[in-house]
């Protein structure tokens, strides 16, 4: 299993281009199931999660034409066969559940393995199922699979018990081909939902309200092909900003946008960083030592849970005490024990972590437990004295494109060990 070796102590400096967003690309690729015409995506990141989803789609008979180096993928679902997503592939990636809505809408049936729990929490999909049932589908969960069937989905008024990002995306896609109008209340407002809606509208869908908590979708008979550029990855952007901030560095990120990152940028400025955002670039200059900043995760536009671990890492070496509250996932502090191995002072009490900044961290061997936990260990390793070895970095490969190359371009001493 690959490991990452980081020799800490370098101030990051230089320029890096941000990749397309994993969490936008995954639902967008699933949207291609809704049409018999070819859909082309550009700015597709080269990530393991994308590879997994393309395998699931290809397994159903979708023609996949990928130029990984160019970042383009063309999907032709005119040859769609059995609408089945098997456990062997689904188990490695929760977002596979995003094929459910489009398959039921297009084929009138689907059999999709339950994604199962993961390191950060139980993550059920009851809201996805409840929404499809409200649209007239018969849904059974048997032998670990969600079986859904309906001659044609019917528009309905849907209300999710909590804000769910992939739940909103699944139901929005399903509603595009339903008979009549669907209203999703308490919808997720994440920018990735808006990116998906924009692509669906370009395919002929009739959607209004994406980006607000009420989305209206008037079903149409069919959708057509289009070409869509995937939005920049706001979490990758935030992660590099945190890495530079913790290292006392100065970096410029290109191919990105600050407009989805207000909550994160605000906190970095509170921590003492100078940040200048231009059209598609963000520059950050860090102070010699950061000031501790408290954060509380919440659905967009508030502070994202996917940046919580990275902020825990920067607070480990900041001046003062930070309180970090995780309100989205019940078990998303797995990185804390690993950060403690590097010398961090962190106390956990339920969904709250109290981080007392220390003067420095020391390199050690640590284990990555999930995607963003791994990112926090990379940040800590970059500032720790001596060598840090991060084990199980397959988690990082799910969501960070060419991480070592990008960090090396910023001057970091980082190497992958096979
Ligand atoms: C591929 C993708 O876009 N992943 C993101 C998406 O995950 P994902 O869409 O899976 O996360 P949700 O927004 O659905 O989860 C929010 C909360 O709702 C709960 N819940 C959700 C659905 C459901 O049917 N029942 C239920 O109880 C979850 O367990 C969690 O506690 O949003 C999360 C929250 O911003 C991010 O951390 C993930 O990076
Ligand atoms: C939790 C994440 O992803 P996923 O929902 O795909 O597990 C993430 O991107 O941080």
Note the ipTM here.
0.99
362 is in an annotated binding site: no
Distance 22 CA to ligand 1 centre (A): 14
Ligand 2: which atom is nearest the Cα of residue 26?
Answer: 6
Q: Measure CA 138 to chain center.
A: 30
Atom of ligand 1 nearest to the CA of 22: 1
CA distance linking residue 272 with residue 4, whole number of Å: 29
161 annotated as a binding-site residue: no
Of the listed ligands, the closest to the CA of 299 is: 1
**Sheet order of strands, 63-67 included:** 63-67, 72-76, 39-42, 227-229
Same domain, 31 and 150: yes
Domain that holds residue 328: 3-19+232-417
Answer yes or no: is the C-beta of 372 below 6 A from any ligand 2 atom.
yes
Establish whether residue 166 lines the binding site of ligand 1, counting it when its CB lies within 6 angstroms of any ligand atom: yes
- Tell whether residue 23 is among the known ligand binding residues: yes
Q: In angstroms, rounded to a whole number, what is the distance separating the alpha carbons of residues 155 and 172?
A: 11
Quick one: pLDDT at residue 117?
65
Distance from the alpha carbon of residue 165 to the mean position of ligand 1, in angstroms: 6
Q: Check whether residue 306 and residue 295 sit in a common domain.
A: yes
| Burial grade of 371 (CB within 10 A; 0-12, 13-18, 19 or more) | buried
Task: Please give the distance of CA 6 from its chain centroid, rounded to a whole number.
Answer: 24
Number of structural domains (the chain) is 2
Same domain assignment for residues 237 and 357 = yes
Q: What is the model's pLDDT at position 87? A: 94
279 plus 206 within the same structural domain: no
d(CA 355, CA 347): 7
107 catalytic residue (yes or no):
no
> Do 8 and 69 belong together in one domain?
no
Residue 104, CA distances (Å) to 39, 138, 139, 202, 239 in order: 19, 10, 10, 21, 36
How many angstroms does the Cα of residue 213 sit away from the middle of ligand 2? 21
Considering 30, 107, 118, 199, which one is annotated as catalytic? 118
Which of 229, 244, 273 lies at the terminal end of a domain, its last residue? 229
Domain identity same for 343 and 376: yes
Report CA-CA distances (Å) from 3 to 146, 309, 310, 381: 36, 19, 19, 13
321-362: per-residue pLDDT in tens? 999 999 999 999 999 999 999 999 999 999 999 999 999 999
Coil vs helix vs strand at 178: coil
Q: Are residues 224 and 278 in the same domain?
A: no
- Coil/strand/helix, residue 159: strand
Tell me, yes or no, whether 166 and 73 share the same domain.
yes
124 CB within 6 A, ligand 1: yes
- Cβ 234 under 6 angstroms from ligand 1: no
Q: Is 215 annotated as a binding residue?
A: no
Over residues 233-242, the pLDDT tens digits come to: 999 999 999 9
125 CB near ligand 1 (under 6 Å):
yes
Ligand 1: residue whose CA is nearest its atom 18: 164
pTM above 0.95, yes or no: yes
In the DSSP assignment, the letter for residue 275 is E
Distances (CA, A) of 153 to 27, 131, 179: 19, 11, 6
Q: Are residues 103 and 174 in the same domain?
A: yes
Radius of gyration of the chain (CA): 21
Beta bridge partners of 84: 111
Q: Which residues of the chain have pLDDT under 70?
A: 117
127 lines ligand 1 (CB under 6 A): yes
24 near 196, Cβ under 8 Å?
yes
- List the residue whose alpha carbon is closest to atom 10 of ligand 2: 306
Nearest CA to ligand 2 atom 6: 95
Ligand 2 midpoint to CA 358 (Å): 29
Are 206 and 248 found together in one domain? no
| Substitution candidate for ligand 1 out of 94, 166, 304 with most atoms within 8 A of CB | 166
- Ligand nearest to the Cα of 119, by number: 2
Residue after which a domain boundary falls, among 202, 229, 256:
229
For the Cβ of 106 lying below 6 angstroms from any atom of ligand 2, the answer is no
DSSP 331-398: T--HHHHHHHHTT-EEEEETTEEEEE--S--B--EEE--SHHHHHHHHHHHHHSBSEEEEE-THHHHH
User: CA 66, CA 321: separation in Å to the nearest integer?
Assistant: 47
- Note whether 193 and 241 are same-domain residues: no
Boundary (domain end) residue, out of 229, 263, 285: 229
Q: How far apart are CA 239 and CA 237, in angstroms?
A: 5
Tell me whether residue 378 is annotated as binding.
Answer: no
> 407 with 284, same domain?
yes
CATH code of the domain in which 390 resides: 3.65.10.10
30 C-beta closer than 6 A to ligand 1: no
77-80 long-range contacts (CB < 8 A, ≥24 apart) are 77/32, 77/33, 77/34, 77/35, 77/36, 77/106, 78/36, 78/37, 78/38, 80/33, 80/106, 80/107
283 is in an annotated binding site: no
Q: In a 3-state reduction of DSSP, which class is residue 6? A: strand
């Amino acid at each position: 299993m690959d490991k990452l070796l980081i020799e800490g102590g370098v101030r990051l400096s230089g320029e890096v281009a941000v990749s397309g967003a994993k969490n936008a690309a995954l639902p967008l690729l699933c949207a291609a199931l809704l049409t018999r015409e070819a859909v082309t995506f550009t700015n597709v990141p080269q990530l393991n999660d994308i590879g997994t989803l393309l395998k699931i789609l290809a397994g159903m008979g979708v023609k996949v034409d990928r130029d990984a180096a160019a970042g383009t993928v063309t999907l032709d679902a005119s040859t769609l066969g059995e609408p089945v997503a098997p456990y062997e592939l689904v188990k490695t990636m929760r977002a596979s559940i995003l094929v459910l809505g489009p398959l039921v809408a297009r084929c009138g049936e689907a059999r999709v393995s339950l994604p199962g729990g993961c390191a950060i929490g139980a993550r059920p999909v009851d809201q996805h199922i409840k929404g499809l049932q409200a649209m007239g589908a018969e849904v059974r969960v048997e032998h670990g699979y969600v079986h859904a069937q309906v001659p044609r989905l019917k528009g309905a008024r849907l209300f999710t018990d909590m804000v769910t990002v992939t739940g909103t995306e699944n139901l929005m896609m399903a509603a595009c081909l339903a008979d009549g109008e669907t209203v999703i209340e308490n919808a997720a407002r994440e920018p990735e939902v808006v990116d998906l809606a924009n692509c669906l509208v370009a395919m002929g869908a009739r959607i209004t309200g994406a980006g607000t908590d009420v989305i209206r979708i008037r079903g149409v008979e069919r959708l057509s092909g289009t070409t869509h550029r995937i939005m920049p990855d706001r979490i990758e952007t935030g992660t590099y900003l945190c890495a530079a901030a913790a290292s006392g560095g100065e970096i410029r990120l290109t191919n990105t946008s600050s407009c989805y990152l207000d909550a994160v940028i605000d906190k970095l400025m509170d921590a003492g960083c100078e940040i200048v955002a231009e059209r598609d670039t963000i520059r950050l200059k860090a102070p010699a030592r950061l000031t501790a900043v408290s954060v509380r995760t919440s659905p967009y536009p508030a502070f994202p849970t996917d940046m919580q671990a990275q902020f825990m890492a920067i607070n480990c070496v900041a001046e003062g005490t930070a309180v970090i509250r995780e309100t989205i996932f019940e078990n998303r502090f797995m990185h804390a024990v690993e950060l403690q191995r590097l010398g961090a002072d962190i106390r956990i009490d339920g969904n709250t972590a109290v981080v007392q900044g220390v003067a420095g961290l020391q390199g050690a061997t640590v284990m990555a437990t999930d995607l963003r936990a791994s990112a926090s260990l990379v940040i800590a390793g970059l500032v720790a004295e001596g060598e840090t070895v991060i084990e199980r970095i397959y988690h990082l490969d799910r969501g960070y494109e060419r991480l070592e190359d990008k960090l090396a371009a910023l001057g970091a001493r980082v190497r992958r060990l096979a």
